[in-house]
Amino acid sequence: MYSMSVVKINVLTVPAEQREVLEKRFASRAGSVEGSDGFEWFELLRPVEGTDSYLVYTRWRSEEDFQAWMSGPMQAAHQGGADRPKPAASGSTLWSFEVVQSAGPRA
User: Is the alpha carbon torsion for 63, 64, 69, 71 positive or negative?
Assistant: positive
Domain boundaries, the chain: 9-76+88-98
For the stretch 64-97, pLDDT in tens is 999 998 888 665 655 555 566 778 888 899 999 9
What mean pLDDT do residues 2-23 have? 91
Query: Mean per-residue pLDDT for 7-13?
Result: 96
Res 64: pLDDT: 94
For 3, residues 6+ apart whose C-beta sits below 8 A from its C-beta are: 61, 62
Q: Answer whether CATH 3.30.70.100 is correct for domain 9-76+88-98.
A: yes
pTM: 0.82
Q: In what order do the strands lie in the sheet with 53-60?
A: 39-45, 53-60, 6-13, 91-98
Q: Please check the confidence at residue 58 and state whether its pLDDT lies above 90.
A: yes
